[in-house]
Amino acid sequence: MKKTNVLKLIDRALRLYEEARSARDAVSVSEIAGRFSKGRGKGAGYGRRYHSKIWSLDPYAAAYEPVWACPLPLAWRFRWGWLYGVADQVVFENGVPIAVIEYKSYPETGKAEEVQVALYGLLVELVFCVGPRAYLITPNGTKEVKEWKELAISSLSPLRRTR
């Protein structure tokens, strides 16, 4: 992919995120994923600290480095409203997002965590027009969420009916 195209798509991602954050009809990835959680906020404090430490990484380096991974703000406007959030890492190869990764500080994950990474996968696909792989990384290892697209769409179904 050309550097200029990558830069435009990253600009697009950041612009959409800022637009979503100020919209009244916006819902965050964390809010949707939280609906599938048995225990609330397992790693919320850790997640906020993690994002505050790595937020300064420059996503534009993805256009210039052969491999680059960084947190990335993402958003998309659906008929019912905005979906937005910040993925822990989006991995780029030659400017193309190939994977989205969510890190968890706790060993056991469930549907909520899978929904979260699935929604980030969907946002990456919509913004960059390419379907990435989706992974959860925990102290127990790495798990690929293979059916992320179906999981993301089904988790959004209630929003389509209520808005």
Q: Where are the domains of the chain?
A: 3-162
Q: What is the pLDDT of residues 38-89, one digit of tens each?
A: 764 555 555 555 554 544 578 999 999 999 999 999 999 999 999 999 999 9
Torsion of CA 83, 79, 148, 64, to 10 degrees: -60
Q: What is the mean pLDDT of residues 9-20?
A: 96
pLDDT score recorded for residue 50: 52
For residue 140, the 8-state DSSP code is T
Considering the entire predicted model, what is its pTM? Answer: 0.88
Backbone angles phi, psi at 141, to 5 degrees: 130, -165
Q: Greatest CA separation found in the chain?
A: 44
pLDDT score recorded for residue 44: 53
% of the chain surpassing 70 pLDDT? 86
